[in-house]
Amino acid sequence: MLSLPTEKKEPKTKLEDYSLLLYGNWKIGKSTFCSQMDSPLFLATEPGLEALSRFEVKVPDWSTFLRCCSLLEKGDHHYKTIIIDTVDNLWKSCSEFVKEQQGIQHESDLGYGKGWQMVKDEFFKAIRKLSLLPYGLVFTSHVEFIEVKTRVSTITKAVPSIPKSGRDMILGMVDLILYAEAVVANGEEIRVLRTQPSENWEGGDRTEHAFHRKLPAALPLSFREFEKAFYNQTEEGEML
């Protein structure tokens, strides 16, 4: 029976209570980063985890993903963090599922944008339900570079390589948006985690007020360093 709340909820205090998108180049270390989270389960939509010690379910199609969601909803497991690796391929699986259900070859075959909307609705329905479960939810994605026109110039921006409708949905849903990239400093290549928004990449953090801190704009691509910064335990000298 539905009833109105009588007590105010306090902000959640653990990283695994939040949702996160981590995107970056192939083989930069996204899966390794995620494997160090609390009690993670990988829903693997592509190969690439073979060198990691992990709990994994291979998700080759949308129907398998829906069955995984049903099992997670039952709660008879020890997992605290669900990692969709990658969300790019999960979107493709959703699209293939809808096209097969509708008997079409391409989303545009239905006309008036109906096919695209059906994919978006199917994807959102499942992801929203998963996001409401009491687990951390992590999406990984590869990166693509798009041209963005400003009033005075055209800039190149790094964004997750999901089609725009799916990308906008995930970006609007997650609590943290992290971009992993390799940069050269003092003649040496280092891997960096971008946490704040920029005209050159997507980034963001809506947990600032809950933890009374602002994440450093750049951190080493290390889960332990990110975890320390998240819980406001980073020393000044550890920031990039």
CATH number at residue 75: 3.40.50.12240
How far, in Å, CA of 155 to CA of 41, rounded?
A: 37
Cα 175 from Cα 119, distance rounded (Å): 23
Task: Tell me the C-alpha distance between 185 and 191, whole Å.
Answer: 10
Q: Which of 133, 131, 136 is nearest to 38 (CA)?
A: 136
pLDDT value at residue 237: 47
Q: In this predicted structure, what is the pLDDT of residue 79?
A: 97
> Is 112 a member of any domain?
yes
pLDDT of residue 238: 54
d(CA 236, CA 43): 36
The reply to whether 144 falls in a domain is yes
For residues 132-161, one letter each, b for 16 or more C-beta atoms within 10 angstroms of the residue's C-beta and e for the rest, the string is: eeebbbbbbbbbeeeeeeeeeeeeeebbbb
pLDDT score at 80: 97
In a domain? residue 189: no
53 inside domain = yes
Kindly state whether residue 45 falls inside one of the protein's structural domains.
Answer: yes
The answer to whether residue 219 sits within a structural domain is no
The whole-angstrom separation of Cα 58 and Cα 184 is 35
Does any domain span residue 8?
no
DSSP string spanning 176-189?
EEEEEEEEEETTEE
pTM score: 0.93
Residue 34 in tokens: 């995620």
Q: Which domain holds residue 31?
A: 15-178
Determine, yes or no, domain membership for 104: yes
One digit per residue, the tens of pLDDT, for the chain of length 240 reads: 889 999 999 999 999 999 999 999 999 999 999 999 999 999 999 998 999 999 999 999 999 999 999 999 999 999 999 999 999 999 999 999 999 999 988 888 788 889 889 999 999 999 999 999 999 999 999 999 999 998 889 999 999 999 999 999 999 999 999 999 999 988 899 999 999 999 999 999 999 999 999 999 999 999 999 999 999 986 654 555
H-type alpha helices, the chain: 30-35, 62-74, 87-102, 114-131, 164-173, 208-211, 223-230
The reported pLDDT for the residue numbered 200 is: 96
Beta strands 40-44 and 81-85 are: parallel
Q: How many domains does the chain have?
A: 1
Give the model's pLDDT for residue 235: 62
